[in-house]
Amino acid sequence: MITAAAVAAAIIGYPQNQRCAFPDAGEYIMGAPRQYDASLISTDSSGAATVRCDSAAIIQTSQPAPPGYEPHCGGLYRASDATSFSASRSVSIVCIARYGARWRYATWSPARGVFDRFAATSLDCGVPSTVDTATIGYGAGALATIASIAKNCNSGSAHGLFYTTSGSTTSMSTGVAWWPTTADAALIMAAAAPEVDTEFLKTYAATAADRIATLGLNWSVWPDPADPVPAYTAGLTDFGKSHQVNEYDPNAAGSTGGSVLLERLRLVATAAAAASNCSLYVCGDQTLTDVVELGDSYMLELTDTTIVAGAVVFGTGGTGHLVNETHVLANPDNDGIHLTVARRLGMTETPEYAWHLEWENNSATTGGVWSERWFPLSTCYPADNTGYPDCADYGQRSQVLRTQTAGASSRAVAAVPIGKDNPCGGKWWNDYFVNLPAVGAGFYSGIQVCPTGSQLAAGVIDRKDGFVIDSTTMESVDRPNLFAAGTAAAALLGDTYYAPGATIGWAAYSGVVAGTAAANRAVAPTPDARLSPSTALIAFVVSVGVVAAGVAAHIAGWGRLHYALMTLATVGVWVGAIAAATATPRRQPAGNVHRALGWALVGCITATAALGTLRTVYRPRGNTIGIIHRVLAVLTLSLLTIHLLFITDEASVDVDATRLYPSAYETVAMVYALIIATIVVIVVARLPGRLGPIPTMTTEAGRKEYFESLM
């Protein structure tokens, strides 16, 4: 038996600590598999949920501990008795009744109602229910992220890209990308955004080209390699040119530079995943509605399924539509879910920054509707504002306009005189674009006077509000394994819009940074993840084996080996008890039964060893010490068997009933308990012949014999 236990321990490993995560689909608890039970959670006509369990339970939720539950490890809560509570946030429950009874479970969310979180996904993309990383969105930030993940993923890992539609802000654009390339550019950027960390801007300028180059895209300088966009914003373009991917054909019908860029990134991701031997799942028509913490992993509630992910990257655009900006260019699907999730999880929020952009309304250039204004080609400027910075970049012009039109929806405008000496005026910009061979007729060809009735208003491409992230990884400073990319991460750049293509250039850079970090961080987020063995646990397991070997040596008549092994076992038990009692923080808060049995075991094995040593050293003439020693030995072995059983789910009591130990612990603990119990039976069967006559204390001769037996 001892050999069998040793082999089992070698194959399975030492028993692990309690599992600090929701059980997985294949888990056996109390000797039984799972059973989905939708009746555990009921909803009323208003959609409110009531969660009930008639036995011990574990729940997983981001709301505070409900009545009857106490905090457990890994973000779980546990209850020892029947409970019922109302749920306002997503919740998963496991009910644990008794040995041999299936453990029942269910999950509820406001978006999906009651559902089976272990049910196979039915999405056409074939994504499994658990992935290493999940990237949300379909813009340049999300696609650069998934491409970078694919280039850095571990062999055999799984990664998902989930999006509502492919009609992102990027897909609507020309696909022009700009990034800084020198320290001087960083300083110019810092001057435009004093709220931003200058050192970070220097890092961005120094590394952007190399980082973006890892995507393997083919870029051309925009709009013409021989004549790029002229220097403006104090010469910023001299330190970083705008680009488009070579594959874009402006004469091709039905496509934009942005949609071609996204397709190229998707192809890069697909090829890289194949080369890295990792699985990539691209899943459309899936809107993210909520994210629930699962320790350091996350459960994502999507339109048609629920996915568990080890790391999540938000490439979902900005929050312009969420905060109801009047003029927003961004894709309407940019619903600010990353900010909504951040608020639900109590994460630190960024300041309210934006990609600022002017909007214009005139019949000649926009057909009488509001439209974004990239360059002041219409020659319009605020009529009563001589300080309007028409030489400045998009962001600065719009921010000045926003300040001056506070409380009003638009601003009256007047024409810039044709002959005005204004090198950055509308005519200058129009002449520039007309003469570019790559552009031809220009944007507003022939318009040299601001049309009557025109209006200007401040607007945005999108807002940058989100959660605070580490600029070196794009990871949340509050929650591990939550990342942002693209506009969702753009608060790092402050209230700025530096140059044509700055949004997409930043998306490519931040996506590479976030994707690299997420791919390297992600581990398979299996819900049966286990803690490493603690000192107390290892000492206890080793000591149990030594006890079994020591008693077996005694039965075999190997006295010296018995004494040596039992001394080691006693020391080991003390080491385990002290390590468990003094651990900071406590690795696994035990129930009262566990503690009482543990200390009783320590006391009994110590007394047994002491009496055995005393009897061996002094060799008394009588048998009293031997009798006490053997009785204590039987008691010690019995306590050891009970202790082994009570720290398993099968026989646990008190709060230990919801410990959810992994199956490896169950196997080893039960094998050891069986071995020790067998030894107890053998020892008890041999005990009558080993005790000898017991001195009587009712006579003087008996009392004399007793005391002499102790000498």
Task: Assess whether 334 and 480 both reside in one domain.
Answer: yes
- Name residues whose C-beta falls within 8 Å of residue 403's C-beta, 6 or more positions apart in sequence: none
Q: What is the CATH number of the domain that holds 265?
A: 3.50.50.60
The pLDDT score that the predictor gives to residue 135 is 97
Q: Which residues of 629-659 are buried (b: 16+ CB within 10 A; e: fewer)?
A: bbebbbbbbbbbbbbbbbbbbbbbebbbbbb
Q: What percent of the chain has pLDDT over 70?
A: 71
pLDDT digit string, tens, across residues 220-231: 887 766 666 555
pLDDT at 253 over 90: no
The reply to whether 429 falls in a domain is yes
Task: Count the residues in the chain.
Answer: 711
The pLDDT score that the predictor gives to residue 418 is 32
Among residues 458, 485, 504, the one where a domain terminates is: 458
The pLDDT score that the predictor gives to residue 299 is 86
Pairing state of beta strands 76-79 and 70-71? antiparallel
Which helix (H) or strand (E) element contains residue 643? helix 624-646
The reply to whether 149 falls in a domain is yes
Task: Assess whether 371 and 433 both reside in one domain.
Answer: yes
The pLDDT score that the predictor gives to residue 428 is 53
C-alpha to C-alpha distance for 480 and 518, rounded to whole angstroms: 10
Tokens of 146: 């998934």
pLDDT at 211 over 90: yes
* Average pLDDT of the segment spanning 592-604: 76
The reply to whether 208 falls in a domain is no
pLDDT digit string, tens, across residues 360-408: 887 766 777 888 888 777 777 776 656 677 667 778 888 887 776 654 4
Task: Assess whether 409 and 482 both reside in one domain.
Answer: no
- Name residues whose C-beta falls within 8 Å of residue 340's C-beta, 6 or more positions apart in sequence: 322
Within 10 A of 345 (CB to CB), how many other CB atoms are there? Answer: 17
pLDDT at 19 over 60: no
Task: Assess whether 546 and 514 both reside in one domain.
Answer: no
* Average pLDDT of the segment spanning 435-439: 56
CA of 145: how far to CAs of 163, 258, 506, in Å? 13, 16, 12
* Average pLDDT of the segment spanning 200-222: 91
The pLDDT score that the predictor gives to residue 11 is 36
Residue 15 — pLDDT band, cuts 50, 70, 90?
Answer: very low
Task: Assess whether 570 and 679 both reside in one domain.
Answer: yes
pLDDT at 434 over 70: no
Lowest mean per-residue pLDDT among 3-12, 15-24, 177-186, 336-345: 3-12
The reply to whether 337 falls in a domain is yes
Q: What angle do CA 617, 621, 626 make, to 5 degrees?
A: 65
The reply to whether 598 falls in a domain is yes
The pLDDT score that the predictor gives to residue 415 is 42
Q: What is the mean pLDDT of the chain?
A: 77
Q: Which residue has the higher pLDDT, 1 or 340?
A: 340
pLDDT digit string, tens, across residues 271-295: 999 999 999 999 999 999 888 887 7
Check: CB of residue 94 under 8 Å from CB of residue 30.
no
N- to C-terminal Cα separation, the chain: 38
Q: Which residue has the higher pLDDT, 69 or 499?
A: 69
Lowest mean per-residue pLDDT among 25-29, 176-180, 300-304: 25-29
Tally of domains in the chain: 4
Which helix (H) or strand (E) element contains residue 210? helix 198-213
Q: Which residue has the higher pLDDT, 18 or 224?
A: 224
Lowest mean per-residue pLDDT among 28-42, 184-198, 221-235, 289-303: 221-235
Among residues 409, 441, 458, the one where a domain terminates is: 458
The pLDDT score that the predictor gives to residue 544 is 77
- Name residues whose C-beta falls within 8 Å of residue 353's C-beta, 6 or more positions apart in sequence: 463, 464, 465, 490, 491, 493, 494, 495, 496
C-alpha to C-alpha distance for 605 and 612, rounded to whole angstroms: 10
Q: What angle do CA 293, 295, 300 make, to 5 degrees?
A: 30
Task: Assess whether 30 and 100 both reside in one domain.
Answer: yes
C-alpha to C-alpha distance for 428 and 377, rounded to whole angstroms: 8
pLDDT digit string, tens, across residues 420-431: 334 555 555 555
Tokens of 155: 């062999």
Among residues 529, 560, 576, the one where a domain terminates is: 529
- Name residues whose C-beta falls within 8 Å of residue 421's C-beta, 6 or more positions apart in sequence: none
Check: CB of residue 373 under 8 Å from CB of residue 118.
no
Task: Assess whether 568 and 629 both reside in one domain.
Answer: yes
For residue 312, the SS3 value is strand
C-alpha to C-alpha distance for 76 and 71, rounded to whole angstroms: 6
- Hey, what amino acid is at 470? D
| Residue numbers of the domain that contains 390 | 356-458
pLDDT at 432 over 90: no
* Average pLDDT of the segment spanning 329-354: 91
* Average pLDDT of the segment spanning 617-642: 72
Q: DSSP H helical segments within 302-424, as ranges?
A: 337-344, 363-366, 394-404
pLDDT at 525 over 50: no
Lowest mean per-residue pLDDT among 63-72, 286-295, 454-463, 612-621: 612-621
Q: Is 475 exposed, middle or buried (0-12, 13-18, 19+ CB in 10 A)?
A: buried
pLDDT at 194 over 90: no
The pLDDT score that the predictor gives to residue 238 is 62
Q: Which of the given ranges, 6-15, 190-199, 337-346, 446-455, has the highest pLDDT on average?
A: 337-346
Lowest mean per-residue pLDDT among 210-224, 240-254, 503-517, 537-551: 537-551
pLDDT at 449 over 80: no
The reply to whether 84 falls in a domain is yes
Task: Assess whether 129 and 87 both reside in one domain.
Answer: no
Residue 16 — pLDDT band, cuts 50, 70, 90?
Answer: very low
Task: Assess whether 572 and 475 both reside in one domain.
Answer: no
Q: Is 251 exposed, middle or buried (0-12, 13-18, 19+ CB in 10 A)?
A: exposed
Task: Assess whether 589 and 703 both reside in one domain.
Answer: yes
Q: Can you name the residues that pair with 313 across neighbouring β-strands?
A: 135, 483
Within 10 A of 211 (CB to CB), how many other CB atoms are there? Answer: 20
Q: Which residue has the higher pLDDT, 177 or 583?
A: 177
CA of 301: how far to CAs of 203, 306, 310, 419, in Å? 36, 5, 14, 60
The reply to whether 488 falls in a domain is yes
Task: Assess whether 503 and 576 both reside in one domain.
Answer: no
Site of tokens 């010690």: 636
The reply to whether 184 falls in a domain is no
* Average pLDDT of the segment spanning 99-120: 80
Task: Assess whether 361 and 450 both reside in one domain.
Answer: yes
C-alpha to C-alpha distance for 687 and 202, rounded to whole angstroms: 81
Which helix (H) or strand (E) element contains residue 704? helix 700-709
pLDDT at 649 over 50: no
